[in-house]
Chains A and B, each alone.
Chain A
Amino acid sequence: MSRLKAEHLYKVFGKRPEAAVKRLEGGASRDELRADGTTAAVIDASFEVEAGEIFVVMGLSGSGKSTLLRMLNGLLDPTSGRVSYDGRDLTALTPAELREVRSRNISMVFQHFALFPHRSVLENAGYGLEVRGVPRAERERRAAEALELAGLGGWERSWPDELSGGMQQRVGLARALATDADLLLMDESFSALDPLIRRDMQDQLLDLQKRLKKTIVFITHDLNEAMRLGDRVAVMRDGRIVQNGTAEDILVRPANDYVASFIQDVDRSRVLTAGSIAERGDDADAVTTVAADTPLADLFAPLALGTGPVAVTGADGAPAGVVTRDRLLAALGEQPAGVTAGA
């Protein structure tokens, strides 16, 4: 069973939202509603997130991704539809029950960190535990552990405004980790950071994820980030999820022109893997052997060394084919289906 499940979620702002949902179900467009002064932020969004998975929701601003995220922990009430967590219908909970779920099971990391300026780093990290009524000693121990995990050991007594942006977001991450919540909602959490810091944070998140195996819903407008982090990626446009699949799915088989135009700038060599382009061939003179999930970027150096191909082995170690120089170049230059060159 999936850990988190969203079924036909709608969120409409404005007058008479239920009627607007009916009209949307009847095929009305978002623009028609907007003319009446109602805004359909999320339209018929359904997806499932498995335990231990990073599920990325990617979309431009105004696509409804942040609204979608806030329906997952009840910060916003869906106009229609259901959210279940571990089989429990979150939309049916009383406010008190919902608060309980938020303080124990679902944490959130914010775009602008949302650290409390009047609390020290340690007090910020322990905030969720404080809300839950965990005694001070235990709370401080667990908050310190979470800070250590997030790479901020030794900064407990500092204040948020003394830290750089990246460090502040580590506090935000520690605050989310300290409650031991299984589900992490991350709202454009790295978007406000410098590119270099952002990369560090992505690496650290992936690293943490290997150890902690949280279930993460990550919102971003950056496709490279989505491809890098996401086990699966949902692309949103105008309130709807237009494609939902693995990074490679989206790159190789974009669902429509919108997604296709989106992925043009993606560094394909970092998303596509050796396994996905391997072809049958002779690996007798292979220069090296790599695993199937190796990104193409890591094949450049070995292929430049000699004329032979790179051998690829599957997860079980069995040979999965080879990648030749020609195959590599062809894969990188390939245009996604449905998009004409130069579009």
Chain B
Amino acid sequence: MPRIKLGSWAQSAVDWLQNHLSWLFDAISTVLTGLYDAVHAVLGAPDALLMAGILAVVAWWLRGLLAAVFAFAGLALIDSFGLWDEATATLSLVLVASFLTLLLAVPLGIWAARDERVSRALRPVLDLMQTMPAFVYLIPGVMFFSIGPIPGLFATIIFSMPPGVRMTELGIRQVDGELVEAARAFGTTPRHTLTRVQLPLALPTIMAGVNQVIMLALSMVVIAGMAGAGGLGETVYAAVTQVDIGGGVESGLAVVVLAMYLDRMTGALGKRVSPLGRRAAAKSPSGARPSAVLNYRPGTAVATVGVVVLALVAGGMHLAGGERESVAAGADIGRGKKVKIGYFPWDEAVATTYLWQNVLEARGYKPEVKQLDPGPLYTALAQGQMDVQFDSWLPTTHQQYMDRYGDKLSDLGSWYGPTSLELTVPSYVKDVDSLEDLKGKAGKFGGKIVGIEASAGMMGKLNGNVLKDYGLDGEYKVVSSSTSTMLAELDRAIKNKQPVVTTLWSPHWAYGTYDLKKLKDPKGAWGKGEELHVVGKKDFAADFPRIAEWVKGFKMTEKDLASLEAEIQKGGKGKEKASAGRWLDARPGLLDKLAPVKTS
């Protein structure tokens, strides 16, 4: 069987599209970003509780008082978690994605219902869209549409479209053939047959499809958070990568609240808009209701008035509450210029990014920080959609990105080094201090070394060099999982005082949190350490000469970094900026050292 180079063809296709159709992607991106921003502006403008009130009135209108109370309580809970902004971002993304999905899915479903050939051709495409792992198209999405909500939107539309198409097709096909024939027998045009008979009767099924679309969109939006779509997905992802169980549960619950709200509301909306649903509702005996108060639903007019009043109040408050942050006189070097800083959720990246966000704000810039996976982030830098990032591990871990995008990136210098990779045991594991000591002790550790992502560079090194050099291969099995799983396993073992050996690297906050012992590497099997570099887009130094100058002088020691990371860890999720600010304020003179106002 010859090797079919499907992968490389796909790669060339993506390259070609990127090179030749970028104007198209830019245009799409502009339109979609506008749409998303508009929805987000509307949803995000009012105060959290007011918006929760508006959404609760909608629930009241659609389902009754009880639903409204639950909706308000759930949404207020999100606000109390401090996740309101993320939730509105997610909600906006879901609404825009669902709207666009349905805009495509319903006509496709209609077409498929009317033409058997279309239906047959669509089926495998829909299967592909539904089952292809999302990351496969999330990353090309980033390449086409730049970092931000649009690749997430793009992936969400792909993922959530199939049920929309299928349910529309099914709904129309399910309409009694005699009814369609009756419509034709009275001279109805095909278009009117669709709008007067088929669509109204298919509406309950189509609405079930809409519900599915919205639910899938929500689940996908969370995944898309990892590719920079922001919102709750980002907080879930960040919590998971930092083994922040509490934060994970809170942001996960926020997703659940949104899911339940959207699910119940679309379900009820289906009944409201479909003529058959209205019939069924009108027929159900009113005496069977448990309580008239709980089930009282305001009429459409009353609900509209309620929403409008709350919206006006929100508008008024919004106008009253505009404030500006002040920048020390003479220090306004940035003059409001935007700097887009990307980071992946590695602790030293989070620490430096938020530290520099504080520093740059104090110098009059408007830094925007954005969490991304390494792949998308380097892509975004190479395309100039991001300006800078602080956590490039060179010359090994991230070398592949430098090789690929080298001439489109600029290395702004290293701020920390050398790093090290190691195997680590808790310090209560007494007789193991060096890699050599592991030999013959497989029984103690259950014969396994807890690793991280199989794709990580250090895993290759561990399997390829380290185990061989110390004669450990065969004795130990490297369990690949994920960084968060590894850290969770470490935490569990330490709580139970069990022996465990894990892969770890320095700098890492785990060394500050737990009492750990880095296993010595007398043979140098892990190789030399790396340096942490600041990497900017190609024209960074030209666009931001002062910042380029400042980061060139930027250095941190392991101790400083550990204390900064600890401060951020202590501050908790969502308060990284404030924590880093506090850390900075506690060190008088550091700001001027990091970003001197006078040119040197």
Contacts and interface: CB of A to CB of B under 8 A. Distances in A.
A117 B201 contact: yes
Contact of A99 (B178, B189, B200): B189
Nearest to B278: A118
A101 B187 CA distance: 8
B200 A118 contact: yes
A73 B188 contact: no
A249 B402 CA distance: 97
B222 to A, nearest CB: 37
Contacts, number: 60
Contacts of A108: 182, 185-186
B176 A118 contact: no
B178 A132 contact: no
Nearest to A112: B178
Given A118-B275, A118-B276, A131 B187 contact: yes
B27 interface: no
Contact of A114 (B182, B192, B279): B182
B334 to A, nearest CB: 62
B79 to A, nearest CB: 41
A107 B183 CA distance: 11
Contact of B185 (A73, A104, A116, A118): A73
B197 interface: yes
A125 to B, nearest CB: 11
A127 interface: yes
B279 A107 contact: no
Interface in A82-109: 98-104, 106-108
Interface residues of A, number: 29
A131 B275 contact: no
Contacts of A128: 186-187
Nearest to A102: B187
A94 B14 CA distance: 48
Nearest to B176: A114
A114 B188 CA distance: 14
B186 A179 contact: yes
Interface string B166-200: 00000000001011011011111100100001001
Interface string A144-170: 000000000000000101000000000
Contacts of B187: 98-104, 128, 131-132
Nearest to A129: B186
A102 B187 CA distance: 5
A246 B187 CA distance: 32
A131 to B, nearest CB: 5
Nearest to B184: A75
A61 B181 CA distance: 19
Contacts of A103: 186-187
Contacts of B182: 108, 110, 114, 116
B279 A110 contact: no
A103 B185 CA distance: 8
5 contacts: A75-B184, A102-B187, A107-B185, A114-B179, A118-B201
